[in-house]
Structure 1
């Protein structure tokens, strides 16, 4: 007994100690292998392919398996005394592999400049890289590429570049032109007149977007209307004097103020809607990632089959040549240690890939077992489902499910959907049948699509219709919340005149 502690306190102390021990053990279990496996599980398809390519480049022990590649993840490192009848012990073979190892160390070692190209093809690859356009990382990079070939004086280029770096994510330059000129003057230590900023903006728009560098939305839209043309007089009037009414869909008020008919107002609004509100969008750097579904769900002989796309899940194996190198290097401790580390790293990575594939497949099968109605009837049959339910069914932690579905997509008979799409709360119909939030939102959109556009349904009316026609009992504020989430305007905003 610990002196000075009463028995209850002692028990609590022991429990605390055991709890701390368990936590310490849990932390110890977070080995590099486990951390790597969790990171690999979370990667979306395209990022996984990039990671695999990087590992293939960095680790000479890895190669893409062809045909029936040997299963290496559970094997022990090659026995240095097992020659297996190969001629790997020849001096020539060992020297050749060690030469290759030295080249690898030289080209992919700790050089801050990264891997160096072999001398025999460096010129060819360097030329190819120089002729490949770099992918712009941001709006500024993309626009700077556009203006790089402009023939302008150095001082004018400085103005252009400053304007570009001052653009916000929408391609706007919200600052007053005098303020921009003042700040640029301070940075360049010379006087820059506001007129130079205006000229720079005009020059920029000639080679990029006609509204790039606009001060705000109104300015961006006005810049895209041809100046001096009578056909755009009404559009300009609406934008300069009635933008608030336009956003609130108060067409009769605009009609009364301008003396034009509602039909003329609607025609002008059609022109305005054809303009680009975000001039920087097309220069937004990297294009959106192409959706590449890893999970495939297809109907075969009346049954739905869930599988992974093998093209997105490349099988890797250990290079036989480098496995033999471990056998041959037993007398050189430094080389042997390097080889063992690389081999161990390769096996960890292969195991992480296989674990990812197995986990993702198990998650997908459980998801679509529970969402069988969706596969047969579409979104309207989507059931409420939470990650914890799937985690319990698979006997894994909920974080494993979260990582497993993150950034992953499934190709189904009803289209391509993110795996996270199938996890949603829901409500219970008057019949006692459960329905998911997504299916309620889908039904809400259908009601709005089918409504009388001259007399749109209010949120109260939408709630009543859902209850009467579908047995879905939700409050008006929930309807309002779902409507806004779907990007649907209020009844006054949806009204057509």
Structure 2
């Protein structure tokens, strides 16, 4: 065996700190970028921030409301709320109604085991730190809680929630209580004939009972959540001015990054402090360069979007065209991964509402005439078609797929229809069927 030295030349791509920083900043929203800039000020003595008077454009929202675009494709609606925390209000009410300390602690324990809809989610141990409650205490506390707040609060499940509302508000409606108590699963499955048979009533009575139950509130405490109002800051704002669309990045409120001249004397010195200062100076320069690169990349992408999706900005989601990240990347001569990062976590404000920027990128389906159609438009067609169907004989996914293929010339499978329907939160045909009297 012979030992020897060999020289070999290899080419490797090293992920430097500066490159990682540039990639990371691309993915930041404007709000996240602001936080990052302020963190850099604390870490780098050469960075000095100058605040600006301009304020960001804010939209207040508590949650995403249901939408025709499904859970993954929906506008972010502005919601303003100044409601006081319901848990705190109920706790204050309990202190007034139940003066003894033990009952107040019991009610507090139960209140903080309610989910966002007011349902009680409680463990078997019933322990509260150093305080433990007996089973009888828990049952007593639940009864007190259910009398304290909105009818239905403290229910362990949907059945109990509905029964509480019937018992307190409509005690005379024994049939409705019986239907909820014993046949709630049949209501969910819309098995109207089976309900009529089991309860020995006519179909028109089943319909009356179903209509009544729909007036009850399955979420009587939907505002009990402790979540405070979140503020949504659009990163890009599209406006219609002088018969054309214009846009600007909503980053005018970001603090200006300046060089702290107090340390400039150390840049050209020959000591250990100089090495540290020069390293921080390079970081300062890279930060400025990365932010500018991020800004220019987003501007290029939005220019392409305004051109490619002009019909969307004029008419809304029905006119959204198929568009991929790669197509945009080719237009601006960048890599697809760069466009992907630059469009991540970005919110765009348009005349039709405020959306996740990625909603403007949508896959395509083929049509019989050789053209393509966006998935978003197909979902809108699907939603419209189901809305107009005969509710006594709703279409199956297979029938809808056949209709799209033959009547609309859109090549689509039953499985895809099912997928889109679920994304739109539309139940299957068996659960869309109305009662036929």
TM-score range, shorter chain: 0.7 to 0.9
Tell me by how many angstroms 1:470 deviates: 1.9
Q: Which residue of 2 aligns with 1:163?
A: 110
**Alignment partners' CA distance in 2, 1:148 and 1:159:** 13
Judge conservation of contact 1:424–1:438 (CA < 8 Å) in 2: yes
Q: Sort the Cα spacing of 1:168 and 1:333 in 2 relative to 1 into closer, same or farther, 3 A.
A: farther
Q: Classify the secondary structure of the residue corresponding to 2:110.
A: helix
| Structure-2 change in CA distance of 1:329 and 1:423 (3 Å) | closer
Mark the runs of 5 or more structure 1 residues left unpaired by the alignment. 68-134
CA deviations 1:322-364 (Å, max 9, x no partner) are 4256459999989888877776665554444333322222222
Gaps of 5+ in 2: 55-82
Distance 1:404 1:281 in 2: 36
Q: Does 1:364 align with 2:364?
A: no
Post-superposition offset of 1:146: 5.2
3-state SS of 2:434 partner: coil
SS in 2 for 1:62: strand
How far 1:496 sits from its partner (Å)?
2.4
Deviation at 1:301, TM superposition (A): 4.6
Choose the corresponding residue for 1:39, options 13, 24, 39.
24
2:91 is the counterpart of 1:147: yes
Count of matched residue pairs? 401
Q: 1:383 to 1:228 in 2, by over 3 A?
A: closer
Normalised by the length of structure 1, the TM-score is 0.67
Q: Aligned partners of 2:242, 2:128: CA distance in 1, in Å? A: 74
Q: Secondary structure at the match of 1:399?
A: helix
* Structure 2 counterparts to residues 191-206 of structure 1, below 5 A: 192-205=133-146
Q: Identify which of structures 1 and 2 has the higher relative contact order when contacts are C-alpha pairs closer than 8 Å and 6+ apart.
A: 2
Q: TM-score, normalised by structure 2?
A: 0.74
- 1:288/1:39 CA distance change after superposition, 3 Å: farther
Distance (whole Å) between structure 2 residues aligned to residue 404 and residue 274 of structure 1: 46
CA change 1:184–1:427 in 2 (3 A) is closer
SS at match of 2:190: coil
Q: Residue 387 of structure 2 corresponds to which residue in structure 1?
A: 449
Determine the structure 1 residue equivalent to 2:434.
496
Q: Tell me which residue corresponds to 1:473.
A: 411
Q: Which residue of 1 aligns with 2:51?
A: 64
CA distance in structure 2 between the aligned counterparts of 1:464 and 1:296, rounded to whole angstroms? 41
**Secondary structure of 2:223's match?**
helix
Q: 1:235-255: per-residue Cα shift (whole Å, max 9, x none)?
A: 322221221111112234334
Deviation at 1:195, TM superposition (A): 2.2
Aligned residues of 1:326 and 1:336 also touching (Cα < 8 A): no
More helix by share: 1
Tell me what 2:177 maps to.
236
C-alpha distance in structure 2 between counterparts of 1:453 and 1:415, whole Å: 32
Listed one character per residue, the Cα deviations across residues 81-130 of structure 1 (whole Å, up to 9, x for unaligned) are xxxxxxxxxxxxxxxxxxxxxxxxxxxxxxxxxxxxxxxxxxxxxxxxxx
Moved more, 344-353 or 379-388: 344-353
Return the alpha-carbon distance in structure 2 between the equivalents of residues 346 and 212 of structure 1.
55
RMSD (Å), alpha carbons: 4.2
The alignment status of 1:298 with 2:286, answered yes or no, reads no
**Alpha-carbon shift at residue 411 of structure 1 (Å):** 2.6
CA distance in 2, matches of 1:335, 1:145: 58
Tell me the alpha carbon deviations over residues 172-192 of structure 1, each in whole angstroms, 9 at most, x when there is no partner.
Answer: 3355xxx73xx24797587x4
Matches within 5 A, 1:66-85: none
Q: CA deviation at 1:488?
A: 1.1
What is the match of residue 340 of structure 2? 402
Q: Distance in 2 between matches of 1:187 and 1:309?
A: 47
Larger radius of gyration: 1
TM alignment of 1:70-149, pairs within 5 A = 143=87, 147=91
CA distance in 1, matches of 2:36, 2:224: 27
Contact residue 381 and residue 435 of structure 1 kept, 8 A: no
CA deviation map 1:205-261 (0-9, x unaligned): 455554343222222332333427335434322221221111112234334444555
Is the CA contact 1:42–1:405 (under 8 Å) kept in the aligned structure 2? yes
- Change in CA separation of 1:331 and 1:186 when aligned onto 2, cut-off 3 Å: closer
